Amino acid sequence: MSCPLFKYPIRLLFHKEQEFCYSLYKVMGFYPHNTKYYHTALATPAAHAACKESESIQKGLNNERMEFLGDAIIGNAVAIYLYNRFPKKDEGFLTDMRSRFVKRKSLDYLCKKVGLSELISKNALKHQYHNSYVNGNVVEAFIAAIFLDRGIKKCRKFIIGKLIEPNFDTMINFDPDYKTLFMQYMQKMHISAEFKTEQSGTEHEPEFETTIVYQDRTLGVGHGYTKKESHQKACKAALEYVKENNLE
């Protein structure tokens, strides 16, 4: 569906779609060309389960696929931005900084900050499943929507201009990426630990438990509604464990 405020006379189109286009404009700073991508991005998997016979899903357009695409795009954009902003910093610093912007907790914060959460509540939360970082997932899908609709230049303009630069000072003070820190610790100590993750719950309300094991010792256990969340919590627990216990 094309945006009525972008291509067609307002008098010929539905008021709700006009309102939706203007809401997108307030978030992005520019109008969309085709709103179907944004409607899809702002729907949760549970909402798709309730309307799984829709034409867009049958054609392979769904917000979980868009999350995958958006995750890659924002990671790339943030990496380039940090590389240019900090020309003298090493790989470890840049990796840690990037992780602070792209992790679920950060994306959840950005979703609320730019006003995306208000659009989610209008379009999807009636069908929301139990996911502690559903807002962060939607940010990734929304970025993919911009890319599919307006291309990479507009997409990077939104990521840098709306997400990163206005919130930079706040984001760098977020919690570190515990998994990256734990992996760096293992590399420094020349050891290898095993991550064991088990999934429970339902398809649309999954729960994960990750256990980190080293030489029959449990270093840390983490629970979460995504695998990444359980990994982060397990690594945080493992880092606390290794501070108190020497690993040989």
Number of domains the chain is built from: 2
Looking up residue 117, the CATH number of its domain turns out to be 1.10.1520.10
- Contact 42/124 with Cβ under 8 angstroms? yes
* Domain-located, residue 2: no
Q: What is the pLDDT of residue 60?
A: 53
As annotated, the active-site residues are 71, 140
User: Residue 220, SS3?
Assistant: strand
In a shared domain, residues 112 and 14: yes
CB proximity list for 98: less than 8 A, separation 6 or greater: 75, 78, 79, 82
In a shared domain, residues 166 and 78: yes
* Domain-located, residue 1: no
In a shared domain, residues 118 and 199: no
* Domain-located, residue 5: no
In a shared domain, residues 205 and 102: no
Listed as ranges, residues in the chain with pLDDT below 70 are 1-14, 44-62, 121-133, 247-248
Give the domain range for residue 158.
10-171
Which helix (H) or strand (E) element contains residue 208? strand 206-214
**pTM here?**
0.67
In a shared domain, residues 127 and 48: yes
The string of pLDDT tens digits covering residues 181-232 is: 898 888 888 889 999 999 998 877 789 999 999 988 999 999 988 888 899 8
- DSSP annotation of 226: S
